[in-house]
């Protein structure tokens, strides 16, 4: 089961239960597209992922990163309105595990979301 978090937890850089994930939100080139970027920083180099679900709970896209890679996905706003964002990480023995979830909020429409996973 995932831990529900608020946007302010990420935007303020609050320590989550096991991790530090920060978020920078900036304008994107297209009003009806939201871009999701995932970067691992510091000593964090184990696999991480961001799952984007629609209002019905179906996966629209999944972005992942390991080590120095940057994961990027772009999604049309209409496909995700009312959905959820789930942050995943590799845990013991590398098992990919959903950790945190956020409700998709209108303040991210037409934005670039840069998630930085800096501690786990």
Residue 47: what are its φ and ψ, rounded to 5°? -55, 140
**What pTM does this model have?**
0.95
Gap between the Cα atoms of 24 and 28, Å rounded? 12
Cα dist from 46 to 10, 49, 50, 66, 115, whole Å: 20, 10, 14, 6, 15
At 73-113, the pLDDT tens digits run: 999 999 999 999 999 999 989 999 999 999 999 999 999 99
Stretch 11-28: mean pLDDT: 94
pLDDT given at position 68: 87
């Amino acid at each position: 089961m995932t831990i529900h978090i608020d946007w302010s937890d990420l935007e303020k850089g609050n320590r989550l239960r096991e991790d530090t994930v920060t978020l920078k939100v900036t304008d994107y080139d297209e009003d009806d597209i939201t871009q999701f970027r995932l970067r691992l920083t510091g000593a964090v180099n184990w696999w991480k992922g961001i799952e984007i679900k629609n209002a019905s709970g179906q996966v629209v896209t999944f972005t992942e990163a390991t080590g120095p890679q940057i994961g990027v996905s772009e999604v049309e706003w209409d496909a995700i309105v009312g959905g959820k964002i789930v942050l995943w990480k590799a845990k013991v023995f590398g098992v990919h595990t959903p950790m945190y979830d956020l409700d998709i909020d209108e303040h991210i429409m037409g934005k670039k979301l840069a998630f930085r996973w800096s501690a786990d």
